[in-house]
């Protein structure tokens, strides 16, 4: 897989309360990934970019919410894809260090 595709698969980390709990207790990290990304592509991108070993990978599609605008019209937010990545024992990804 070419380097440009690797960088386009991982959109960024998904920061939430649930993601923080999973990172502490289960050695898992949550990422927002491209909608057209597959499990093997996501696994390869994470292992290559962060130099870690992925033990388990769960991918789910998140349906965009319907919101009401100030004028009362209904608008649909975009659908997106989320990946939960379980890392090998003793490995971690530190996002603060990368900034």
Tens of pLDDT, residue by residue, the chain (99 residues): 788 999 999 999 999 999 999 999 999 999 999 999 999 999 999 999 999 999 999 999 999 999 999 999 999 999 999 999 999 999 988 777 765
pTM of model > 0.95 = no
Q: What is the CATH number of domain 3-87?
A: 3.30.70.330
* pLDDT score for 16: 94
- From residue 56, alpha-carbon distances to 66, 74, 79 in Å are 32, 38, 24
* pLDDT score for 99: 59
* pLDDT score for 94: 79
């Amino acid at each position: 897989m070419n380097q440009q595709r690797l960088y386009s698969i991982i959109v960024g980390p998904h920061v939430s309360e649930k993601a923080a709990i999973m990172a502490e207790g289960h050695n898992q990290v949550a990422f927002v990934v491209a909608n057209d990304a597959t499990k093997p592509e996501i696994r390869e991108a994470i292992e290559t970019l962060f130099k870690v070993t992925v033990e388990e990978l769960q991918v789910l599609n998140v349906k965009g919410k319907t919101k009401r605008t100030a004028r009362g019209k209904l608008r649909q937010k975009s659908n997106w894809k989320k990946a939960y990545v379980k890392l090998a024992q003793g490995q971690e990804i530190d996002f603060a260090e990368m900034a």
